Amino acid sequence: MLQSMLQSMLQSMLQSMLQSILQSMLQSMLQSMLQSMLQSILQSMLQSMLQSMLQSMLQSILQSMLQSMLQSMLQNEILMDVKLSTNVAPVYGGNLCVNFDDQTKFPLDAEIYLVFQGSRQRHVTSATLLNETTLQCQAPVGGIKTFLVRSK
């Protein structure tokens, strides 16, 4: 009888100890898993937020730089607004040659930039002077409504 009581007590103590150890281990494992999952989620969210912020900042900086370049280009230069009829001469991108009449002549050492104006955006590109009245450049892809010829 004493033996059975001792056995019962030992069994009860072992069960209690095992239960306590298992609870402690499970709790530790769950904490570790949750911590790892939260770190992964936070890292992903931070990367996404940083990427979005950087894109926004770069876009803002590039727009500012482009506006600054255009403003500085407008000083001391010849400016012509050339209207392009997309019905007569559709431009969809690629190599473009622009011929002017004999009254419109560019100095052979001039730096020439073309500003293509579409419905939603502007594109600035440099032009090569083939002769005093002919310019050549790469036109952007997309529908172009007008372009400006700027010569310095």
The reply to whether 65 and 128 lie within a common domain is no
- Last residue of some domain: 75, 100, 127? 75
- Is the pLDDT at 84 greater than 80? The verdict is no
Q: What's the pLDDT tens digit per position in 5-49?
A: 888 888 888 898 999 899 989 998 999 999 999 999 999 999 999
- Is the pLDDT at 3 greater than 80? The verdict is yes
The reply to whether 111 and 130 lie within a common domain is yes
- Last residue of some domain: 53, 75, 97? 75
The reply to whether 52 and 121 lie within a common domain is no
The Cα–Cα gap between 91 and 82 comes to 14
Report pLDDT for 41: 92
Domain count along the chain: 2
74's CB contacts (< 8 A; 6+ apart) are: 150
Enclosing domain of residue 129: 78-151
79 confidence band (pLDDT: 50, 70, 90): low
The reply to whether 68 and 82 lie within a common domain is no
Report pLDDT for 63: 87
Helix, strand, coil share of the chain (percent; to 5)? 50, 25, 25
Q: What is the pTM of this model?
A: 0.38
Q: What's the pLDDT tens digit per position in 118-146?
A: 667 777 778 888 888 777 877 776 655 44
The reply to whether 71 and 112 lie within a common domain is no
User: What number is the average pLDDT over the span 98-107?
Assistant: 76
- Token readout for 6 is 């001792």
Mean pLDDT across the chain: 77
- Is the pLDDT at 65 greater than 80? The verdict is yes
The Cα–Cα gap between 50 and 82 comes to 42
The reply to whether 70 and 31 lie within a common domain is yes
Question: With 0-12 CB in 10 A as exposed, 13-18 as middle and 19+ as buried, what is 144?
Answer: buried
The reply to whether 1 and 64 lie within a common domain is yes
CATH number for position 114: 2.40.10
- Token readout for 146 is 């007008």
